[in-house]
Amino acid sequence: MPQLSDFHLFLVITLLKIVVVLVITLTAVAYTVLLERKVIGRIQNRWGPSRVGPFGLLQPLADGIKLFLKEDLMPLAVERPLFVISPMIALACALVSIAVVPFGAVHTVHGVDIFQIADINIGLLVILGITSIGVYGIALSGWSSNNKYSLLGSLRASAQVISYELALGLSLVGVVLRAGSLRLRDIVDSQSAHGLLSWNIIGGLQIVGFFIYLMAAYAETNRAPFDLPEAESELVAGYHTEYSSMKFAMFFMAEYANMITVSCVATLLFFGGATSPFGHMFDATGPAWLSMVMPVFWFVFKVFCFLFLYIWVRSTLPRFRYDQLMAFGWKFLLPLAMLNIIATSLALAYHG
Amino acid sequence: MALALFIIFGVLCVAGALNLLFQRHPINSALSLVVVMMALAVIYWTLGAEFLAAAQVIVYSGAIMVLFTFVIMLLNAGEEERTTGSKAAYFVGIPGVAGIIALLTYIFLHEKAALGYARLGGSLDTATSNISEISRVLFTDLLLPFEVTSILILVAILGAVVLARREQ
Amino acid sequence: MVPIAYYLILAAVLFSIGIGSFLIKRNIITIFMSIELMLNAVNLTFVAFAHQWKLIHGQIFVFFVMVVAAAEAAVGLAIIIAIFRTRQTLNVDNINLMKN
């Protein structure tokens, strides 16, 4: 086998990383759907899917096959190019943000960090930027469907996403102030000193920021209790009313991939990312492979907790009214986020 | 490598801008402008302005252009009809624009050596990051303009609210 | 190694296309978008010169341009909505109440 040059090695490992992460993310998306149906089922005192495979574990596969084999309807009055491209925009934007997420401790193979696809010094801004592009998928799908329910849904969605993006961005400023960097690795490192106690949500006193982030993230991903864009009782299915088959599946996957991204960001920014809640207490024990796998385990565990919280909230809270949603975002979350920034910067200036 | 990046995204920019010009429907124009802005963000990054690249994506394509598409959807703007008023624009505008391009291109190519070369991602100083440098200047030397801008934005918000509010 | 001149030429081309569509387009929203395109072209020149002079101030100017553009877009689109509400059209040739 001929010796590969550094650049080729980098290229091969990076492509491999992308493929692996993509496969894992898509599988996670499929199983988040199952998790949601199961958990909501239990909360509503029923079983949830249980027929396909043991405990219904093969249900995502059955769903996938069903969606693939369905007829792909193309309504006559749609704007064809935009109608086709908007689910792709939605899904692509949902998946791309995973690229900057570090999901393990630094571990290099041939000089390439294998637990993060791209280590960018403006990682947080990249995530915010991609999230803000994602709204085009929803806005265009509603407009190009040429259907008033879809249009109303997408108008609601774009207004909601733009409004809550402000609160979302401002809630992260406190964390960035503490870390002094926008690089996600630096932000994680700034919380790794004493485990649980130095996480931003506890040691950093960013619990207000976390609360704002959580609310804004629910609104950004159009999930309950802020799922106005797809409110079944008012808008049929909102922006994806006219979609069927794989195009519908893309929107569906985009929603769950967005949930996963948002959970990853919350984990990184407020819960110490891939660091253990016990700090460096158990670092010395165990074999070498354990110290490589444990960070990934903690990361996945934290993300799982977030997804569970998402589902729990969905099955518990009723939907907001639209004016309540806007008032909550603009009159409560935004001022609160600004106060949080002022308080954090004053505290930082006082201490250091 | 740098040249390839520049050519790919430069061509994307120009193609997007031309598409803005030739598309009849405002929403298609808006989307081609989004393409131009995203490609420009990459070009900013090759010039070592990574903060501006991110800001370009977040502010321009993520906020301003979403606002444009929102208004287009809200007003349900259809295809534009060409009217006679634009005749003069065709006859005076197009030669004038061609003249401007020719003149500027000539000047820039003439001064090519004096203008120097760009280093890929060449930040101004590798030791300090682009963002900390920008924020240092922004919050020390240029604090007053920065604060004045915030008042400008406040005025703009109030103006937009007053203008867009339905008459009672 | 790309000559700075190429970036400037790209900016000039974008700016000219902006002028062209500003003159030719009849839809007021598209006209507004061509102004944004021209602003973007100017921003590119600023960034290119900031790179050439190894000074950060060009980039900060671009930052200010972005902020002002955002404010301008908010006010401009509000004006467009107000015009549409009273005149029921977006064609600039039909908005000629003061002309005749």
Q: Note the pLDDT tens digit of each residue in A202-218.
A: 776 788 888 889 888 88
Residuewise pLDDT in 10s, chain B (168 residues): 778 888 999 999 999 998 988 888 888 888 899 999 999 998 888 888 888 888 889 888 888 888 888 888 888 777 766 666 667 777 777 888 888 888 888 888 888 777 777 776 565 445 456 777 888 888 888 899 889 998 999 999 898 888 877 765
User: C84 to chain B: which residues are within 8 Å by CB?
Assistant: 75
Q: Which other chains touch chain C, taking contact as 3+ CB pairs less than 8 Å apart?
A: B
Q: Categorise residue A17: left if φ over 0, alpha if ψ from -120 to 50, beta otherwise.
A: alpha
Measured CA to CA, the distance from residue B163 to residue A96 in angstroms comes to 38
- Full residue range of the structural domain in which residue C70 is found: 4-92
pLDDT at B15: 92
**Residue tagged 């190429």 (tokens):** C6
Q: SS3 for B127-168, per residue? A: CCCHHHHHHHHHHHCCHHHHHHHHHHHHHHHHHHHHHHCCCC
Q: Note the pLDDT tens digit of each residue in A79-136.
A: 788 888 888 888 898 888 888 888 877 777 777 777 778 777 788 888 888 888 888 8
Q: How many CA atoms lie within 13 A of A79 on its CB side?
A: 17
Measured CA to CA, the distance from residue A279 to residue A198 in angstroms comes to 9
| B128 and C CB contact within 8 Å | no
Count of CB pairs separated by less than 8 Å, B with C: 249
| C83 and B CB contact within 8 Å | no
On whether residue C52 sits in a domain, the answer given is yes
C and B touch per CB criterion (3+ pairs under 8 A):
yes
With CB atoms and an 8 Å threshold, state whether A133 touches B70.
Answer: no
Residue to test with chain B: of C24, C30, C32, C96, most B Cβ within 10 A: C30
User: B29 to chain C: which residues are within 8 Å by CB?
Assistant: 25, 30, 33
Provide the whole-model pTM. 0.86
Measured CA to CA, the distance from residue A175 to residue A124 in angstroms comes to 11
With CB atoms and an 8 Å threshold, state whether A158 touches B58.
Answer: no
Burial degree of A23 (CB within 10 A; 0-12, 13-18, 19+): exposed
Closest chain B residue by Cα to residue A156 = B70
Q: B62 CA to chain A: closest CA distance, Å?
A: 5
pLDDT at B82: 66
The amino acid occupying position A332 is: F
**Residue tagged 């287009």 (tokens):** B72
On whether residue C87 sits in a domain, the answer given is yes
On whether residue A48 sits in a domain, the answer given is no
On whether residue A208 sits in a domain, the answer given is yes
pLDDT at B85: 60
Closest chain B residue by Cα to residue A136 = B66
Residue C12 belongs to a domain with what CATH number?
1.10.287.3510
Residuewise pLDDT in 10s, chain C (100 residues): 788 888 888 898 899 888 888 888 888 888 889 999 999 999 999 988 888 887 888 888 898 999 889 899 888 888 888 888 888 877 777 777 777 6
The radius of gyration of chain C from alpha carbons, rounded to an integer in Å, stands at 17
User: A133 to chain B: which residues are within 8 Å by CB?
Assistant: 38, 57, 61-62
Task: Work out how many domains chain A is built from and give that number.
Answer: 1
Chain C segment 15-54 residues within 8 A of B by beta carbon are 15-21, 23-27, 29-30, 32-34, 36-37, 40, 43-44, 47-48, 50-52, 54
**Domain B1-78+92-122 CATH (choose: 3.40.50.300, 2.40.30.10, 1.10.3720.10, 1.20.120.1200):** 1.20.120.1200
**Residue tagged 């993060």 (tokens):** A116
| C88 and B CB contact within 8 Å | no
User: B137 to chain C: which residues are within 8 Å by CB?
Assistant: 56-57, 60
- Full residue range of the structural domain in which residue A172 is found: 71-351
With CB atoms and an 8 Å threshold, state whether A139 touches B70.
Answer: yes
With CB atoms and an 8 Å threshold, state whether B68 touches C32.
Answer: yes
Residue to test with chain C: of B12, B44, B158, most C Cβ within 10 A: B44
Q: Note the pLDDT tens digit of each residue in A229-270.
A: 676 666 777 777 778 778 888 888 888 888 888 888 888 888
With CB atoms and an 8 Å threshold, state whether B104 touches C8.
Answer: yes
Task: Work out how many domains chain C is built from and give that number.
Answer: 1
Please check whether residue A341 is in contact with residue A205, taking contact to mean a CB–CB distance below 8 angstroms.
no
On whether residue C100 sits in a domain, the answer given is no
B and A touch per CB criterion (3+ pairs under 8 A):
yes
With CB atoms and an 8 Å threshold, state whether B58 touches A140.
Answer: no
